Amino acid sequence: MTDRISGVLAFVQAAEAGSFALAAQRMGLSRSAIGKSIARLEERLGTRLFQRTTRRQSLTDDGQAFYERCVRALAELEAAEAELDSGRRAPTGRLRVSASVMFGRLCAAPILWELTRQHPGLQVELSFTDRVVDLIEDGYDLAIRIAPLADHAGLTARRLGVQELVVCAAPSYLARHGHPTTLEELDGHEAIAYGRNGIARPWRFPDGQGGEKLVSVPSRLLFDDVETIADAAVQGVGLAWLPCWLVAERVRGGQLVTLLEQERRYSTEIYAVWPQNKHLPSKVRAAIDVLVARIPERLSDATRPVKASTLPQTAHPRPSRGLNVL
């Protein structure tokens, strides 16, 4: 029976992924293991489920019919398991989480590592990527997103906090080029820019009326990694516009100085996002709860005291009705 279930799981994953290799990656198995499992399933059923060529694979008519039945059966099994699991006290099993590279490394990973220490039956697989993953298609249980939420039916979200961005520079740079105090005074300075494919992203500031002011500071350095920008700023290369959680230690240590204190800071909300499920598995619930409790500590602005009434009111689109926000 175990062989039958594993064969069905491998078949469904391969059908949805479009390749044995991607199915193997999602299941944590080798490609050959997936191939052998599906071959045994085809032998037992006495029919070919996939039409394979050197370039692609697709379901046969029998494969499509079998896939539709399997999906319904697995959905029932998953619902039954989730219903039982929701009553457990201790989370168990493998939890797949996606987060952006630097925020994931510096903020999310330490929190989730601690969660595994508290729950020996829990396994966490944390994937770092700056692209927006498709949770359902890519097989993730949870994602952490730093951006206004887009319309996506079938997902639920919970707010974790707000990320502020600040302009900063090294004391050595300011000694040579002066200390800008307004956006207008940025003219004549040099920036270390963030961007890709040769295109630098402008710096954003709230205009106090629900809109934004975009500022482009000349730059000879363009990186697609924020920590590299922070390191370059420490060396006195130029001004940088970076998240407070990334530069807080450098500011406390005197390596960087925050600028434009009278200007409103641009902010972006951070969410935990997961596939909608009537019965939320205990492993997902535990991760969401600890992130809600601990992420605000990581986001606390150590670069200056901030009162709630002075937080920047950056206008962001409200989540659309396709996404359920808790």
Amino acid 83: pLDDT? 61
Question: Residue 51, CB half-sphere, CA atoms under 13 Å: how many?
Answer: 6
H/E run at residue 220? strand 219-223
What integer pLDDT is reported at residue 13 of this predicted model? 87
d(CA 179, CA 99): 35
Domains in the chain, ordered, with CATH?
2-85 (1.10.10.10), 91-326 (3.40.190.290)
Read off the pTM: 0.66
Bridge partner residues of 52 (DSSP): 57
**Tens digits of residue pLDDT in 109-165:** 999 999 999 999 999 999 998 888 888 878 899 999 997 776 566 788 999 999 999
Residues 238 and 173: beta-carbon distance below 8 Å: yes
Cα 251 to Cα 5, 164, 232, 259, 265, distances in angstroms: 55, 15, 14, 11, 16
What is the percent of the chain where pLDDT is above 90? 43
Cβ partners under 8 Å of residue 274, min gap 6 = 135, 141, 142, 143, 155, 156, 157, 280, 284, 288
Q: Is the pLDDT of residue 317 over 60?
A: no
Q: Report the 10 Å Cβ neighbour count for 209.
A: 8
Q: How confident is the model at residue 191 (pLDDT cuts 50, 70, 90)?
A: very high
